[in-house]
Amino acid sequence: MESILVNSNLCDGCMNCENMCASVHNASRIKIIEHDSSFYSIVCQHCESAPCKKICPTEAISDEGVDGEKCIGCGLCVMVCPFGAMTFQSKVAEKCDLCADREEGPACIKACTKRAISVADPQKVKAKNQEKFLAKLSGVYEPESQKSGFIHVVTCQARVSHFLE
């Protein structure tokens, strides 16, 4: 299942994503936290074996979100979420549902001016990383940013010489 990813190298902590999410859902389902001069997101990771779904006594939590009519506000889901991503709004649990009800996709992505937020399927990312690794092993991989030409060869040889000395 897809989940929200925030690139901490691009995020500047503007909180546009939080504000947009709050305007769409009456409470933000994404939280940006600063740590060591970098910004990180706390958002539902849509766990395959989600503890919040398992512990919910009324089965109010699903992959699609939280059924507000079934939720009794017991808070068990908030306590077991390993990411701290579950929230409460009006005594009803809430979690990111990737803005399933919005045709234009997640509001936080649309609000991010730095394009630091994206949606990715961990299985697809894993497969892509495995392909890259296998290509490196077979010697056919060349990174997209890889430069060719005289200057690249000279700088590569200089780096190698530096480490061999």
Instruction: Tell me the average confidence (pLDDT) per consecutive run of 10 residues in the chain, 165 residues long.
Output: 85 94 92 91 90 96 91 94 90 91 91 91 85 82 56 49 54
The pLDDT of residue 164 is 58
The pLDDT of residue 139 is 75
The pLDDT of residue 107 is 94
The pLDDT of residue 150 is 47
HEC string of the chain equals CCEEEECCCCCCCCCHHHHHHHHHHCCCCCEEEEECCEEEEECCCCCCCCHHHHHCCCCCEECCEECCCCCCCCCHHHHHCCCCCCEEECCEEECCCCCCCCCCCCHHHHHCCCCCEEEECHHHHHHHHHHHHHHHHHCCCCCCCCCCCHHHHHHHHHHHHHHHC
The pLDDT of residue 90 is 84
The whole-model pTM stands at 0.69
The pLDDT of residue 156 is 46
The pLDDT of residue 154 is 47
